[in-house]
Amino acid sequence: MSDLSNPDTLPEPDPVDIVIEDERWLDVDLQGMAERAAAAATRHLGIDTVEIVVMGCDDTRIAALNDHFRGKAKPTNVLSWPSVEPAPRAPGEVPVPPDTDELGDIAISFDTCKAEAEAQGKPFADHVTHLLVHAILHLAGYDHEADADAETMEDAERSILASLGIPDPYREH
């Protein structure tokens, strides 16, 4: 039992808080996939402690978020909102991890993830884990706007996923 008066004995907060808006995420253990993705990604990034919020939703909700934040009124697989602006960097350079424990928020759509996994012949859990790793890298300052940055981000994704035994998501299937 923790002694609430002693901060050294307080339990560590869960690194990933899950908000479930679509009950189907409960049946596939979004919490477990998110914790696994966060552990592997933060290990790769050299970050000790993080806090991430992941919302498991459906296409209707993610389309509304995509429209509101990106002006694209259509569903997508995953969206992310970093807590801090990334530091400037040269094209292709690995970002400096943000100086905060709170990396940010992620929304992920069950409908789009399921359709993509089926269309690509990938296990659903592998596809979702890849998208969560991808989103966590965005929270840590990675992007894929320029070719050099996309290559850097994809290399990080491949390395992180390989550490989890997940095949290269960019290899032709």
The one-letter code for the residue type at 30 is L
Map 123-158 to HEC letters.
Answer: CHHHHHHHHHHHHHHHHCCCCCCCHHHHHHHHHHHH
Do the annotations mark residue 127 as ligand-binding? no
Q: What is the C-alpha to C-alpha distance for residues 20 and 30, in angstroms, rounded to an integer?
A: 9
Q: What is the C-alpha to C-alpha distance for residues 71 and 78, in angstroms, rounded to an integer?
A: 15
Other C-beta atoms within 10 Å of 62: how many? Answer: 26
Question: Is 139:107 a contact under the CB 8 Å cutoff?
Answer: no
Joined together, the tokens standing for residue 168 give 């290269």
Do the annotations mark residue 44 as ligand-binding? no
Q: What is the C-alpha to C-alpha distance for residues 10 and 26, in angstroms, rounded to an integer?
A: 28
Q: What are the binding residues?
A: 134, 138, 144
Q: What are the binding residues for Zn(2+)?
A: 134, 138, 144
